Amino acid sequence: MPKLIYLGASSAIPTPQQENTHMVISGETRRVLIDTGHNPLLRLPQAGVDPLQVTDLILTHFHPDHVSGVASLLMNSWLMGRKAELNVYGLAVTLERARKVMEFYDWDTWPHFYPVHFNTLPAVEMTPVLACEEFQIFASPVHHMIPNIGLRVEFKSSGKVWAYSCDTEPCAEVVRLGRGADVLVHEVAGAGLGHSSARQAAEIAQEAGARQLHLIHYPTWNADPQPLVAEAAQVFSGAVDLADDFMVLDF
């Protein structure tokens, strides 16, 4: 049975207990890492996922709390003996910058480096990202300070849907990503440029007709995120929870 694991739930400033927001979808044949936090090679084993078994990496946007671990993941996987190919997906500007970072490390001079395939996604709603026997993933552009994508994952055997706003202001694109979702996970870094409050996230979930709302990318540094649940519950009629590091969702 495929499952989704939150590897981190914090907004930009992490704590020793809570890492930056990133997650992994673990199935029988595909293990899809969504963003990297600072060092997914530490978090993945803690979640019971072998980093060398990651088949795909989706990079939502090029902000450090989402992509700073890319170089460590790629290069240290080589040091750990990885041979299998890795597929990386993202918008053109995101992948271009990720490749430039790798060029600064002269990764093309590392002998017998495993194949890394960069797959450019168009900034078009409900773009197919990847599909396998267990699930399919779609991406839509959302409203952040830089080009960014949210995601929708449809699990085939159960018919369940998980949707992810990523970092965004409230927008109709997320409503459509989360339409009828069993779980909509929405960022709550705070109302303002490129971000949303818990109330705004709840309004999006309510409009989308989602069954559950998980709040993610919330402030953890010198902050108590628990009141965000009550704030969202004033608007959203379904269950509201804080996404938490190593929370597991079975689909």
Nearest to 25 by CA among 185, 233, 173, 177: 185
* Average pLDDT over the chain, rounded to an integer: 97
**Lateral strand order in the sheet of 31-34:** 116-121, 86-91, 56-58, 31-34, 22-26, 3-8, 248-250
Check whether 185 has a pLDDT greater than 90.
yes
Check whether 35 has a pLDDT greater than 90.
yes
State both tokens at 233: 């519950």
Sort 204 into a burial class: Cβ within 10 Å, 0-12 / 13-18 / 19+: buried
Mean pLDDT of 81-110: 97
Nearest to 88 by CA among 43, 111, 121: 121
Euclidean distance between CA atoms 250 and 121, whole angstroms: 27
Q: How confident is the model at residue 1 (pLDDT cuts 50, 70, 90)?
A: confident
| Beta pairing partners, 239 | 212
Domains in the chain, ordered, with CATH? 3-244 (3.60.15.10)
Mean pLDDT of 92-102: 98
